[in-house]
Amino acid sequence: MIPRNRRSTGLNLALLLPVLLAAVLLQVVVPLSRVATSYRALELELPLLQIGLLSSAFALLPILFSLHIGRYNDLRGEGATALAGSAVVVIAVFGLWLLSSGFLPMMVFTCILGVGHVMLVSALQMMTTRCSTPDQHDRVLGHFLVATALGQILGPMAISLTTPAGAQYPDSSLYWILASSALGLGACSRLIRAGLPRHVPHSDSPGFQAASVVRIPGLLALIVASGLAVATNDLIIVFFPVLAAANGINAGMVGLLLSVRALASMASRLLFSRLVDAIGKVRLMTLALLATAVATATLALDMPIWGVGLALAGSGFSMGLAIACSISLSLALAPASGKATAMSIRLTANRLAQFLLPLGAGASAVIVGPGGIFALSGLCLMACGALVARVRQRV
């Protein structure tokens, strides 16, 4: 049964609008919290290894919980998950603001932030399929990805606005922005819960098992490639401020450069459906991963500010396409009774990569420096592109 408010357009606007607003706020709150944590770590003069551990902590608990969250969503629906996830994010944000005076509390609240984030992401991504009729799913996914890109623009802008002239780091007003955004996210989750249609579990399958992934041609390769792409995106968020500080670039300029990257990501998502129609999702994902590899590795070079901006813009544009393709392909390949489980397997792989890659990056930074991290990440992404290209004919 299609709700009355979407019979003519194929869209359930009462659900879609709060989902899109929640996507914007989530992408303001979580990356901004992590950048703020990086700057606090620099203020405390923590070593690069501990900064890498803080980045890995974000993914630690979601590795254990992501799959269970997906199975719960398949059986019970996403409304309760979104509401609980927003509450966890609020706790993490206030903890990072008020209680994180050293490495250990920063680790604890970063772990909590990671749990809230994976709960919300798993719920919101599945809700894109419940906001519309099947023929509108790609359109809604495009809107959702544009909303996330908008949040990625607004977050870095907040860094620039809260960094006093001549200062190296943002001031405490950054946390007021974070706190109000987190509370707004909680309000959106309540609206989403109220607007969700009644969840009816699929009866055609007793449940989608994680082991089934290896029997779906192409899906496992996509999940691995997606994990490394998302982890590389994480490294840019966490380690670019460190690289910039080492090169004398203040937080205000870092915010501006990250906003340029997010604008490029938004542009790629606006063009996503046209590019898919032109060359296909798998070929597009392969090319996007290879382009991201080159742009990310370029950040290791000693460049003027405009060169850094071009590299970040190229990385944002191609990374946006790669992540959009991975979400769309994962949803398309998974069976109807296990889409949420399949997406949670993808999220688990993402978090595993987000745990291991920053950990290795923090350790290798002692040898290769912050710039070398981006060169190594470029090599990983190039391998991902080759992996996706090999399964092109089977997807």
Q: Which tens digit of pLDDT belongs to each residue from 306-331? A: 999 999 999 999 998 998 888 888 77
Residue-level pLDDT at 294: 94
Instruction: Annotate 149-178 with DSSP letters as a single string.
Output: HHHHHHHHHHHHHTS-TT-SS--THHHHHH
Residue ranges covered by each domain of the chain: 13-198+208-394
**Residues 208-238: pLDDT tens digits?**
565 666 567 777 788 888 888 888 887 887 7
More confident: 21 or 336 = 21
Residue-level pLDDT at 152: 83
Pick from 129, 108, 115: which is nearest to 66 by CA? 115
> Does residue 18 surpass a pLDDT of 80?
yes
> Does residue 187 surpass a pLDDT of 70?
yes
- Which of helix, strand or coil describes residue 132? strand
Let me know if domain 13-198+208-394 sits in CATH 1.20.1250.20: yes
- Specify whether the CB–CB gap between 155 and 177 falls below 8 A: no
* Count of C-beta atoms within a 10 Å radius of residue 209: 12
**Residues 24-73: pLDDT tens digits?**
999 999 989 988 898 899 888 888 788 888 888 888 888 888 778 877 77
Residue-level pLDDT at 105: 94
- Which of helix, strand or coil describes residue 352? helix
Residue labelled with tokens 């772990």: 111
pTM: 0.76
> Does residue 159 surpass a pLDDT of 90?
no
Average pLDDT over residues 153-175: 86
> Does residue 269 surpass a pLDDT of 70?
yes
Cβ contacts of residue 330 below 8 Å, gap of 6+? Answer: 219, 222, 223, 226, 342, 343, 346
Cβ contacts of residue 16 below 8 Å, gap of 6+? Answer: 131, 132, 140, 143
- Specify whether the CB–CB gap between 376 and 368 falls below 8 A: yes
Mean pLDDT for all residues in the chain: 83
Which of 66-70, 160-164, 248-252, 264-268 shows the lowest per-residue confidence on average (mean pLDDT)? 66-70
Amino acid identity at 58: F
Hey, what are 167's tokens? 């200062």
The DSSP secondary-structure symbol of 201 reads -
Taking the CA atoms of 361, 98, 177 and 125 in sequence, report the sign of the dihedral they define.
Answer: positive
